[in-house]
Amino acid sequence: MKRNLLKLLRGDKTQNEMANIYGVTQQTWFSWETGRTVPNNETMLKMEKDFSIPMEVIFFDSFNYKIK
C-alpha cells in the first residue's frame, strides 16, 4: 500500500474537517490518507502551500515508485 504524510499532517483535525478544507468528502480524504488514491495536481499544490512541504514529500510513494 502506498503511504503518505496526510494522517500526520492532519494532526488533531478530523478527516471530515480536512475534507471540508479541500472541498471533498470524508471518504475521498480517507482514500488519500490511506494511499488508495491521490488528489489532483491543483489540490496537491494547495496542500504543498498550506503545509509548506513539497507534494513530492507528502505523497512520496506516489512520486517514487518502481515498476516491477
> In this predicted model, what pLDDT tens digit does every residue of 1-50 receive, in sequence order?
467 899 999 999 999 999 999 999 999 999 999 989 999 999 999 999 99
CATH architecture for the domain at 6-63 = Orthogonal Bundle (1.10)
pTM: 0.85
Residue 16 has what pLDDT?
A: 98
> In this predicted model, what pLDDT tens digit does every residue of 49-58 receive, in sequence order?
999 999 999 9
Query: What is the Cα–Cα distance from 25 to 12, expressed in whole angstroms?
Result: 18
Residue 65 has what pLDDT?
A: 67
Residue 63 has what pLDDT?
A: 79
E strands in the chain:
none
More confident residue, 16 or 65: 16
> How is residue 26 written as a grid cell?
470524508
Return the sign of the alpha-carbon dihedral for residues 41, 47, 48, 53. Answer: negative
